[in-house]
Structure 1
Amino acid sequence: MKKVGIMSMQRIANYGSFLQAYGLKSLIEELGCAVEFVDYHVGSPLIDSDVKNQNPFTRKIGKGLETFKYKAPLKHKFEFIKYKQQYAKKYMPLLGISENMNYNPKLDCLVIGSDEVFNCIQKNTNVGYSLELFGKDNKANTLISYAASFGNTTVQKIEKYHKTEELGNLLNQFDAISVRDNNSGSIVSTISSKTPVYHLDPVLTYDYMHKCKDIPEMDIKEKYLILYAYSGRITEQEADWIQAYAKKKKLKVYAIGGIQKCADRFIDCSPFEVLAYFKNAQEIITDTFHGSIFSIINHKPFTTIIRKSVGDSYGNEEKLSDLLKRLNLADRMTTDIETVQTINSKMPDYSNTDSIIASYRKQAKEYLTTNIVGDVNE
């Protein structure tokens, strides 16, 4: 039995990070492999931030205090802090992850991905600039990536911080490179000699809604709209509009993943329960990559809010635009909250989207089988 490691964002307290990790693990286990998660040493971020040099305890306290700065019901703020504090203890064991770090194990194959594992030019102190995410010092016989993303790191940012040669040399050591978006593919092609292939995120590639037995059935009496966004990213104007819109449609607003000013409830639940909540929702508003995917696999009317990158600030347009265009769902995107009413009034053509996803699933299975097992017919 092949011993395969996955190096991803599996320890990040985030539903999307969990479900993509679980999905990729499941896909590889279907090939008859033993799978374990591999950790990387967090590096110092290349972009300075106010918390860059703080110790972990100080950062944790700061995060807790930051929650109280957001405009949201006080009850939701306490619920959110509790959710964050308990997340790792409750959900990491479901991935087979313990508190003990698993650095540089000997493996038949190391798979780096999915998620923004290549997003190296950013402020996130939970990741920083870690070359282990590019395969440095690994002890695997084979090194590949799967649906890896550079996020909003661009060629221009890599050049600005003089990392082109270093990253290019590491990418050249991969046996195969799979990315999930055009920006990432363009970077790989530009700074290395590798030709990347494109695959969908594991939450789309693994057939959660038909294969995963951990998604519960829910009997929720009231009708609701899910607002899936991180705390602080929905503007006051957007929140006020969403609140009025939901009231007009007689829907409660369920905030998942973050606290929101306009929410009737903050939902603290397991990653698998998130998919159940999406399944029962009337509609969804999100500005996240995985919020869009959760909507798609549950065949729901949804709108994705696109955020533009400005300087070193957060932006989601690279990954979200690519995803929705790839699935022929570009009409679900907007930069104007008031267009949600028009967008969500129309159901996407999911028969077409499902056909596209089915084709990508076949390609992903062939890629993983060929590069991990070694025989595409197995």
Structure 2
Amino acid sequence: MSNVGIMSMQRIANYGSFLQAYALKSMIEELGHSVQFVDYHVCPPVISDDSESSNKLTRMVKKGLETFRFHAPLSHKLAFISYKRSYASKYLTLLGIAEEPNYNPTLDCMVIGSDEVFNCIQKNTNVGFSPELFGAGNNAGKVITYAASFGNTTIDKLRKYGKAEEIAGYLNDISAISVRDANSGSVVRELTSREPVYHLDPVLAYDYFGRCDRIPEIHTNEKYLILYAYSGRITDAESDWIASYAKRRGLKVYAIGGVQKCADRFIDCSPFKVLAYFRNAEEVITDTFHGSIFSVISQSPFTTIVRKSVGTGYGNEEKLTDLLNRLGLTDRMTFDVTQAEHINQEAAGLGGAQDLLSEQRVNTRKYLSREIGSK
């Protein structure tokens, strides 16, 4: 049995971050190893933004005030703030994560990933640019990655901000590199001339509904559509259309992950219960990576709204296109939310995706077993 560490985005108050971390931990434990989560030191971001404070309390207050500016019911805003404030105390213990950071423990193997652990050219002061996310300064006998992603960080951005050579050095010291998307693969090849292996996000690779006994049964007295998106990303026009569409379909709108103008309910629940809500949903509309994944594994009819990147602002086109293309589900994507009326009424068409998941789950286990070892 090896002592394995996982360095990921495990402390981010986000259902996707939690569920991918729990899934990877579970898969490694099933191979007979002990697992702990490893923290990285947050460093200043590469892209400076005067509006972003490095003080944690200041950021929390700013986020709370920002919530009140969103167009959503006041009760939902208050519930959302409560959800964010209590998230760590309620859920991080389920991952075995203590309040005190776990920096640089002695390990047999450290696994970096999944999530956007390599997305270093960004302005988020919660993450910043941390060489430790690339394996620097570790105290492990071996370092590998699993489904790591550069997110919106491209080779051009790395060169523009003078980080390409430094990142190449870190990557060359990693024993085995696994990525989850084409952009990340191309960056690795460009910087190291190595061919990475591709694996699915842990939420897809781990059979949650077949292996996890924490997902509850839920019963509601109404049919509902899940709107899974961060607060402030669904425009007023999109929200108004979703409200009208749901009403025509006889559905209530359940907002999960963020507050929404059109929501009838804001759902504050455990990450495992989120999957139960997805499993029971009539339909899903999302503009997130993990919202799409939750829909796939629960086999719920869904539409994914794609956003283009503008400057250093948010964009999800690259990662969502890559994800759904790998799953053979590009017909679930649209730039226009009104297309959800057509997309969600089509047969879910997830049978082929389920076959692919079965195959990729075997590949994931083989990779982890080979690179870490198995009982």
Determine if the TM-score, normalized by the shorter chain, exceeds 0.5.
yes
Q: State the secondary structure of the residue aligned to 2:142.
A: strand
Q: CA deviation at 1:124?
A: 1.2
Look up the match of 2:46: 46
Taking structure 2 as the reference length, the TM-score comes to 0.99
Look up the match of 1:319: 319
Look up the match of 1:128: 128
Look up the match of 1:150: 150
8 Å contact 2:46–2:128 — kept in the other structure?
A: yes
Look up the match of 1:92: 92
Any runs of at least 4 consecutive aligned residues in structure 1 with deviations exceeding 4 A, and if so which?
A: none
Q: 1:11-160 maps to which residues of 2 (within 5 A)? A: 11-160=11-160
Q: 1:184-263 maps to which residues of 2 (within 5 A)? A: 184-263=184-263
8 Å contact 2:108–2:141 — kept in the other structure?
A: yes
Distance 2:10 2:54 in 1: 23
Q: 1:285-364 maps to which residues of 2 (within 5 A)? A: 285-364=285-364
Distance 2:10 2:38 in 1: 9
Question: Structure 2: which 5+ residue stretches go unaligned?
Answer: none
8 Å contact 1:177–1:196 — kept in the other structure?
A: yes
8 Å contact 2:54–2:125 — kept in the other structure?
A: no
Please, which moves more after superposition, 350-359 or 208-217? 350-359
8 Å contact 1:70–1:231 — kept in the other structure?
A: yes
Q: CA deviation at 1:119?
A: 0.5
C-alpha offsets along residues 305-348 of structure 1, whole Å, 9 cap, x if unaligned? 00101110011111110010000000000000111100000122
Distance 1:313 1:162 in 2: 20
Q: CA deviation at 1:43?
A: 1.2
**CA-based RMSD:** 0.9
Q: CA deviation at 1:54?
A: 4.1
Q: CA deviation at 1:191?
A: 1.2
Q: 1:175-190 maps to which residues of 2 (within 5 A)? A: 175-190=175-190
Q: State the secondary structure of the residue aligned to 1:106.
A: coil
Counterpart code for 2:242 = I
8 Å contact 1:171–1:194 — kept in the other structure?
A: no
C-alpha offsets along residues 110-146 of structure 1, whole Å, 9 cap, x if unaligned? 0000000001011111101111000000011110000
Q: State the secondary structure of the residue aligned to 1:303.
A: strand
Seq. identity, %: 64
Counterpart code for 2:101 = M
Look up the match of 2:165: 165
C-alpha offsets along residues 194-226 of structure 1, whole Å, 9 cap, x if unaligned? 221000000000000111000000111100000
Counterpart code for 1:196 = P
Q: 1:270-289 maps to which residues of 2 (within 5 A)? A: 270-289=270-289
Distance 1:146 1:170 in 2: 16
Aligned residue pairs total 375
Question: Structure 1: which 5+ residue stretches go unaligned?
Answer: none
Distance 2:52 2:139 in 1: 30
Counterpart code for 1:61 = V
Counterpart code for 2:116 = E
